[in-house]
Amino acid sequence: MRKYILITVALVLFSFRASAQSFLENSQVNGSFQTDAQYYVLDKGIGIDDLLGKKMGINGFGKVNYTNGNFSAGVRFEAFLPEMNGFRSELKGVGLANFFATYDNGFIGMTVGDIYDQFGCGFVFRTYEEWSLGMDNALRGARVVIRPAKGVTLKGLYGRQRYYWAPYLERDFNDDDTRGIVRGVDAEWDLNQSIPALNDSKFRMSLGGSFVSKKQYDMSIFYYIPENVGAAAGRLNLGYGNWSFSTEYAYKINDPSAINNFIYKEGQALMASLSYSQKGFGAVLQVKRVDNMSFKSMYTGKQNDLDINFIPPINYTHTHSLPSMYTYSTQPNGEMAAQLQVNYTIPKGTALGGKYGTKLAFNMSQVNDIVRDSVMDNGRMVISRPGSLGYTSRFFAVSNHRFFRDINFEIDKRISKDWHITAQYINLYYDIETIEGHAGAPVVKANIGFMDVTYKINKKQSLRLELQGLWENEVHAGYEYEESEKKDYQKRGDWAFALLEYTITPHWSFSIADKWNYGNPVEEYRDHYFTGTVSYIHEATRIMLSAGRQSEGVVCVGGVCRTVPASSGVTLTVSTSF
Amino acid sequence: MKKLMTLLLMALMVTGLQAQNKSDLPNVTLKDLNGKDVNLSKLSNNGNPIVLTFWATWCSPCIKEHSALNDVYQDWQDETGVKIYAVSIDDSRSTARVKPMVEGKGWEFEVLLDVNSDLKRAMNVSNPPHTFLIDGNGKIVWYHTGYVEGGEEDLYEEILKIAKKK
């Protein structure tokens, strides 16, 4: 008898040890850290006469995730002491910015804490985080995802959004924090996964729909603010062989806010894209219409924060120094946009393709305003008058007011084993008055050329030369500027840019660059912006040190932008992940 | 007693084996270019290595890396059986451009869409390009951030190390 007890005890202990061991073996911890620090110096040459008491700015975060089978949890700690120039001063502070816990067994997934999610393309709901912009609109609350059948996903979530470090208050009469509660549901049905006969079909189809509402308190003394605002969206994706088509439409009830100037008009958005692709060739045509679709959980907000939705800009994303000075950002109050992108590879072994093939790309995008017609308000015809119904807008009408146009052509060619060239020509039209709010500033019409030549010295070392030029038409050269007008001409006129980089794989990179506003119509703005950079990469660790001048400009990621003031000094970035 | 011990040993072996088969990749489901779901934790290549690269249509070093990888991909596959998955972190403003770009540039690898950065967050990727090498047991054995000319050679040396072990 005792023998049996012993065996049982041993068995229990063993199995416990085994399960504890497998529990530990299944555990995974990973994370990432990043610190960006800037040290500022006076630089009268580019107009920095005063540091305003700020010699340094440091942004840092650390993030740790724990996973064990179907369970995962994570935290993110942030410190902005103080924030770097160009980031919102509300970020100043330190603390636990984000945490979550999730259990997901495939049938049901539940999350509590800070949630990042997206319905469709984001027209009615998207929460995300973009470190380089200091932007985070995470929803702190709970989410349930249920997958009742193959190909069917149902989601429900609610919470309130992050607003820098502000704690959530139901009503805050002292501050302008009028944050509401966000609630949403979404359903998606993928027919190819649901219906066995379609599993491997050339025909593909999926459908989805979502509804999101915000509950806010009316704290306005001028207007009646609706306390519940609902928005709904539907989407459809179709594909057949090499063709695919997708579309999404969203509708929002009246939602007067600081962004739309407190008009009581409904909002609408539509996007559609058609694409064809086969090996060596791909093309996509996209169209979009946005009308009064700003959707924030704080109706008084005017900045890039507390957005419940995301209206994707559909133009080409330039990342090189000069073309990215003029990046388009979505105009949520209204725009009509279209884009065509074609990629083609001239095959290897042909006269033009050579040994490696030649890659060509063409992109054209244009954005205009929508047409607004007046409405009757208190016996008068008005357009966009606060407190009125705003305007009416014919759905397919396009205004002559052009916000943006970008026509670009790119060639990417490996010439030999050691030489590689990429070149791009860009023709740009940028309505700086509308996009950046520089009232009265003339439109930017520019031609931009870009060339990147890489030469591989040997297996480990290579050299890269980047040359860029931006030539602006129709900027008043030789015109006598009033002192008050001058600031509208910062960064305007012709620019030249050169960068030389020397790399030793896998660790080192050294580069020097100069950006020169040689053709600025205002002589005192014809500045050089020299920078020197050293970076060291070891596995997933990157250490980068750069020194020099940074020009005033706009940094955009994901169609969201922040303005960066001119600065001079030293920047250090250290990041790692494990 | 002997039977019991055998059972116990077997049980231990089974749990041990299960632990070994556990992938380092997170339980995140992404769509491929045809809209099919792919669960990363279930990704397998018959015991051969897998390369996972994070990229975006607007990331020029990523495009360079992929062009370089594509030039050598066939040779690498013949020699090591490696499979490359390129995870696009493009969001809805540029997802429509991903497929035409991949096809237009003639890339041969599998492409997955991480539209709201779920996998990027789960794997702690800060900036693309970011490359992971996964061995035949689903373990992450090497990773690297950034790409400079010739960087693919370092990756291949690492692939050869684990490909020999099969």
- Dihedral angle at the C-alpha atoms of B55, B58, B63, B64, nearest 10 degrees? -120
**CA distances (Å), origin A376, targets A3, A267, A518:** 95, 19, 51
Q: How far is B15 from chain A (nearest CA, A)?
A: 7
Q: What is the dihedral of CA A469, A474, A480, A485, to 10 degrees?
A: -80
Of B106, B149, B154, the CB nearest to A454: B149
Contacts of B19 in chain A (CB under 8 A): 21-22, 25-26
Q: What is the pTM of this model?
A: 0.88
List own/partner pairs for A220-228 with CB under 8 A and 24 or more apart.
Answer: A220/A299, A222/A262, A222/A386, A222/A387, A223/A256, A223/A262, A223/A386, A223/A387, A225/A256, A225/A299, A226/A253, A226/A254, A226/A255, A226/A256
Contact flag B99-A246 (C-beta cutoff 8 Å): no
Chain-chain contact of B93 with A314 (C-beta, under 8 angstroms)? yes
Q: Which chain A residue has the Cα nearest residue B129?
A: A540
Q: From the CB of residue A6, how many other CB atoms can be counted at a distance below 10 Å? A: 10
* Nearest CB partner across the interface for A277, out of B71, B104, B124: B104
Cis bond leading into A82, ω under 30°?
yes
DSSP state of A307: B
Cβ separation A277–B103 shorter than 8 A: yes
Residue A206 has its nearest CB partner, among B1, B35, B91, at B35
Q: Which of B100, B125, B143 has its CB closest to that of A343? A: B100
Mutation target for A interface from B148, B152, B153: give the one with most A CBs within 10 A.
Answer: B148
Report yes or no: A286 and A271 within 8 Å, Cβ to Cβ: yes
- Token code pair at residue A365: 């995008």
Q: How far is B89 from chain A (nearest CA, A)?
A: 11
Residue contact A456–B149, C-beta within 8 A:
yes
Dist. CA A414–CA A57, nearest whole Å = 42
The verdict on B164 touching A (C-beta cutoff 8 Å) is no
Q: Is there a contact between B104 and A131 if contact means CB atoms under 8 Å apart?
A: no
Residue (of A509, A486, A511) closest to A498 by Cα position:
A511
Q: When comparing pLDDT for A502 and B92, which is higher?
A: A502
Find all residues with CB under 8 Å of B69, minimum gap 6, and list them.
B51, B53, B84, B109, B152
pLDDT tens for chain A, residues 1 to 578: 566 665 665 555 555 555 666 666 778 899 999 999 999 999 988 888 888 888 999 999 999 999 988 899 999 999 999 999 989 999 999 999 999 999 999 899 999 999 999 999 999 999 999 888 889 999 999 999 999 999 999 999 999 999 999 887 766 665 567 789 999 999 999 999 999 998 888 999 999 999 999 999 888 888 999 999 999 999 999 999 999 999 999 999 999 999 999 999 999 999 999 999 999 999 999 999 999 999 999 998 888 889 999 999 888 888 888 998 898 988 999 999 999 999 999 998 898 888 889 999 999 999 999 999 999 988 899 999 999 999 999 999 999 999 999 999 999 999 998 999 999 999 999 999 999 887 778 899 999 999 999 999 998 899 999 999 999 987 765 566 777 777 778 888 999 999 999 999 888 999 999 999 999 888 888 999 999 999 998 888 989 999 999 887 666 555 556 667 788 999 999 999 88
CB contact under 8 A, B94 and A342: no
Q: What are B94-117's pLDDT values in tens digits?
A: 888 899 999 999 999 999 999 989
- CB distance B41 to B29 below 8 Å: no
User: Is there a contact between B91 and A128 if contact means CB atoms under 8 Å apart?
Assistant: yes
| Nearest partner of A106 among A145, A76, A79, judged by Cα | A145
Q: Of A282, A285, A254, A249, whose CA–CA distance to A267 is shortest?
A: A254
Domains, chain B, in order of start with CATH, read 27-164 (3.40.30.10)
The strand ranges marked E within B33-139 are: 37-39, 50-55, 83-88, 110-113, 130-134
Q: What are the DSSP E strand ranges found in A147-227?
A: 152-161, 181-190, 203-215
User: How does the average pLDDT of chain B come out, rounded?
Assistant: 84
CA gap A419, A464 in Å, rounded? 10
Across the interface, whether the CB atoms of B104 and A22 are under 8 A apart is answered no
Q: Cα B106 to the chain's mean position, in Å?
A: 19
Question: Which of B101, B144, B153 lies closest to A540 in CB terms?
Answer: B144
Residues B104, A359: C-beta atoms closer than 8 Å = yes
Dump pLDDT digits (tens) for B56-69.
998 888 998 999 99
Q: How confident is the model over B113-124, as a mean pLDDT?
A: 91
Number of Cβ within 10 Å of residue A59's Cβ equals 22
Query: Which DSSP category does A83 fall into?
Result: P
Give strand ranges (E) for A415-552: 419-430, 444-456, 461-473, 495-504, 508-516, 528-538, 541-550
This model of the complex carries an ipTM of: 0.83
Averaged pLDDT, B149-161: 90
Q: Is the separation of the CB atoms in B29 and B37 below 8 Å?
A: yes
